[in-house]
Amino acid sequence: QCLLSGTWRSDTGCRMVVSVLSKDGRFSGSYLPGPAAGGPEILTSDLEGTQQDTELFPQPTFSFTVHWQLQETARTTAFLGQCYVGTNGKETLHALWLMREAADSPTEDWKATR
C-alpha cells in the first residue's frame, strides 16, 4: 500500500514533505526545490493535494499544487502522478509537472507556462 505521508526526494534534489494526510485522501505539506531550480530566492513553499483511496487503489494516483514563495513573481506548479510499490516494498512516486508564471500581458502569455 502506497501512502504519501512522509518525506520524498526527487532525482534532482527536490524535497516534498507530506505532513498531513486525511482519511479522505487530502494532504498538505511543504516543497523545497533542489539546486537545479536555480537561485536562493526560492524558499520552502506550501503544497496542497489529494490522492485516491489506498484501500481501493493500492498504487494510487495523486495531484498537488505548489504556490511558490517568491519575491519577484507569482508562480504555481501542478504535479500529477502515481505512487508505485515495488516488489521490494519500496514506494516510488512518478509525476509530471506544469509550472505557470504570472505574465505581464496577454502578448507575454506564450512564455509563461513550462
The helix/strand/coil state of 37 is helix
User: What domains are defined for the chain?
Assistant: 6-108 (2.40.128.30)
Contact assessment for residue 51 and residue 61, using Cβ atoms and an 8 Å cutoff = yes
Mean pLDDT of 45-49: 94
Q: What are the grid coordinates assigned to 84, written together? A: 508505485
Q: Is the dihedral of CA 19, 73, 99, 94 positive or negative?
A: negative
Predicted pLDDT of residue 55: 85
Contact assessment for residue 60 and residue 83, using Cβ atoms and an 8 Å cutoff = yes
Predicted TM-score of the model (pTM): 0.85
Q: What are the grid coordinates assigned to 86, written together? A: 515495488
